[in-house]
Structure formats: C-alpha cells, structure tokens
Amino acid sequence: YDGHSWENVAGKYRYLEFFCSGTSCSVQIPALEEGSSDVFQLTGFTMAGRELTERDLISRFLEQATFGPTREAIDSWDMERSLDSAIPSWVYQQIMVENPTIHREYYRKRAQARIFETISHGQPRHPCEMNSRWSRY
C-alpha cells in the first residue's frame, strides 16, 4: 500500500492502517466480537522482484472501479498527471460529466408515463388511447 485514499477497504474496518516497508506490510487486526460472523482473510501475491508500472497501477484501479480495464481505457489515461490527482478527477468525470447509464431513468420514462392533460378521475378511457392505464384483475 502506498497510502492512497483509494487503497483503503470499505465498511467498518476502513480505519485499519497498513504499515509497509520494502516488500512487507503489517496491520493490527482487532479482535472480533463474540458470535460475530465476520472473518479476516489474508490474500497475498508476489511480484518476483518486479515493480508495478504506471500502466499496472492504472489497470489495478480500473479493475476496482469499473467492470474491468480495457486497453482503450488504459491508453486514454492521462499519464502526465500523478495518480493522486488523476484518480479523483476520473471519478468526478464519471459521476458529474458523463451521461450515466442508469436503469432508473430508463424505467421511469417507460413505466409511469406522465399525463400532460387534465382528466377526471374515475372516468373510463379507451384502452388504446395514449397514456391510458388498464389492468385486468
């Protein structure tokens, strides 16, 4: 861990601090509450003396933040900026600038069509009329 804010875990254990030196890291793991279903799992990997490149770090971030990195996404990354400034900018871009592909917007446009005319409640309308809503019970 390099101390970047995006490297922390989510949830109630996000306060855990990792201390790294050279090729090893340590963390003080708190005792679990009695009867808790929580578990701590340690997963490790070795790089066999290989340092992570900038592309590796970008790929790692995109693996966590998207449905997986693509070569196009990695190639389009702004390599001139440090990751500490580029990652928050990327997240802001995804949330505030890009058109989100949210299912809710698609659903609301089609599920509850707005009626733009004044109608009296309870008056029958023809089932084929625009914006009519009919249910069979």
Model confidence pLDDT, tens digit, residues 3-53: 666 666 667 777 777 787 777 778 888 888 888 888 877 776 666 777 888
Distance of CA 137 to the CA centre of its chain: 41
Q: E strand or H helix at 18, and its extent?
A: strand 18-21
Q: Could you tell me the two tokens for 113?
A: 């069509």
Question: What is the C-alpha to C-alpha distance for residues 61 and 84, in angstroms, rounded to an integer?
Answer: 12
The partner residues of 19 in beta bridges, in order of sequence, read 26
Question: Cα-Cα-Cα-Cα dihedral of 82, 54, 75, 44, to 10°?
Answer: -120
pLDDT of residue 68: 83
DSSP 33-78: PTT------------TTPPPPHHHHHHHHHHHHSS---HHHHHTS-
Question: What is the C-alpha to C-alpha distance for residues 131 and 34, in angstroms, rounded to an integer?
Answer: 57
- pLDDT for residue 124 is more than 60: no
Query: Mean pLDDT across the chain, nearest whole number?
Result: 77
- On whether the CB atoms of residues 126 and 132 are closer than 8 A, the answer is yes
Q: E strand or H helix at 25, and its extent?
A: strand 24-27
